[in-house]
Amino acid sequence: MSSLSTSPSSALAPYGWDDAWADAFAPHDAEGLLPGRVIRVDRGQCDVVTADGTLRADTAFVTPHDPLRVVCTGDWVAVDPGGNPRYVRAYLPRRTAFVRSTSSKRSEGQVLAANVDHAVVAVSLAVELELARIERFLALAWESGAQPVVVLTKADLVPDAATRAHLVQDVETSAPGVPVLTVSAQDGEGLEVLTAIVAGGTSVLLGQSGAGKSTLANALLGEDVMDVRATRDVDGKGRHTTTTRNLLTLPGGGVLIDTPGLRGVGLWDAGNGVGQVFAEIEELAGDCRFHDCAHGSEPGCAVLDAVETGELPQRRLDSYRKLLRENQYIVAKTDARLRAEIRRDWKRKNAIGRAALRAKQQGHPR
C-alpha cells in the first residue's frame, strides 16, 4: 500500500479516495503537492477538499484550450501545498466524465462532472413525461461510463397505484437496463432504496429545473443544504435553485454532485450511449438484410418489420433516428473525413431507398 493511502486516506476516503487514486498521484506526491478533490468550480477558481482542509485554488495553470480538459467538479487534483494564491497543478486521469455539447457554434463539449459512478436522472411526475428527453439524458449517462438511474420524483402527487405503475412502465420501456425508482421526498417513499444506491461511490444528480433535484438532494443529505423554490403550477417548471455544481458527502456514505437544472442536453460523441439506450433496436438490427441498414426504406429491415407488428413502438424508432442524426452531426463538425463518409453513405442509401420504392410500386414485396 502506498504511503499516500495511509496519509490523506482518513480525510479523503469519504470523498472516494482509494489506493488506485493514491498510486496515480504518486508522481505528484514526489513533487510535494497535495492531493484533493474538487467540490466546486466558479470563475476560474475552485474549492478543493484536502487532508489539510478545504482550500481555494486557481485553475489557470492547467486551463487548456480544449474545454474538455478544464478542471471540473469531481476531479482529483494536485494542489500547491502553500502560497497565495494556490494553484491546481494537474488533475488525475478521469475514470468517467459526463459531457454534453454546448450551444457554441464552435461545437465544443462541456464536462459537467468527473469520476462519477451513478448518474441519477430526476424526472418529475407532476408534469407529463417527456420520454424523448429521458432517453437523451440516458444516452449521455451511458456514454459517460457511469451507471444511470431514473428517479421519478414527487410520487406523492400520483396517489393512484395503477396510474403510477403505468408511468413507471413507460419509463422502463424507454430505459432498458436502467433502474427506475419512484420517490417522494415529501413523505420519504423510495428514499431508502435510492440511499443504498448512491452510498456506493459518487453520484451526479441531473434533470430539468422543477424536477425536484434540490428537494431530493436535501432528503439524501438529511438537512436543508440546497435552496428550494416552488415550481410554477402552469408547467411544473422552476427557476434554477442550484447555480454551480457542488460535491457533498452523504451521511449514509458516498458523495453527491448536484447540478443546475439543464435546459439543453445536447449529445457529444455519444454513439455508444445511444446504442445502449435503444438496445432492443440495435439487437433487431442484427437481423436486417444489410449490415448498415438505416431502417428507413431498405428491403429486409428487421426494425421496420418490428414496428409493423407492434413489437417496437414507432416513437422509439423516431427518437433513435433523431439522436443518431444529432450525434453524427456533432461528430462530423469536428471530423472532415467523417463528413465525406456521411455524404457518400447518404447517396448510397438514397439509391437503395429509391430502388426499394420502385420495387414496391411494381408490386414486389419488400
Instruction: State the average pLDDT over residues 287-310.
Output: 89
- Confidence band of 234 (pLDDT split at 50, 70, 90): very low
Say if residue 11's pLDDT is above 50.
yes
Contact (CB, 8 A) for 226 and 242: yes
- Confidence band of 244 (pLDDT split at 50, 70, 90): low
CA distance 329 to 342: 9
Nearest to residue 94, comparing CAs of 78, 79, 113, 108? 113
Q: What rounded mean pLDDT belongs to the chain? A: 83
Helices and strands (H, E) in the chain, number of each type: 11, 13
- Lowest mean pLDDT segment, chosen from 98-107, 251-260, 316-325: 98-107
Contact (CB, 8 A) for 278 and 227: no
Q: What is the pTM of this model?
A: 0.81
Instruction: State the average pLDDT over residues 278-295.
Output: 90
CA distance 189 to 20: 36
Q: Which residue has better confidence, 4 or 204?
A: 204
Whose cell is 451507471? That residue is 147
Say if residue 293's pLDDT is above 90.
no
CA distance 349 to 255: 48
- Confidence band of 100 (pLDDT split at 50, 70, 90): confident
Q: Which residue has better confidence, 319 or 9?
A: 319
Residue-level pLDDT at 230:
45
The predicted-structure confidence for 120-162, as pLDDT tens digits, reads as follows: 999 999 999 999 999 999 999 999 999 999 999 999 999 999 9
CB count in 10 Å sphere of residue 301: 23
Residue-level pLDDT at 6:
43
The predicted-structure confidence for 31-72, as pLDDT tens digits, reads as follows: 999 999 999 998 889 999 999 899 999 998 887 777 788 899
Q: Which residue has better confidence, 73 or 332?
A: 73
CA distance 279 to 218: 34
Instruction: State the average pLDDT over residues 233-251.
Output: 63
What percentage of the chain carries pLDDT values higher than 90?
Answer: 56
Virtual CA dihedral for 252, 258, 262, 266, nearest 10 degrees? Answer: -80
CA distance 242 to 214: 7
197-211, 254-268, 352-366: which has the highest mean pLDDT? 197-211
CA distance 210 to 228: 10
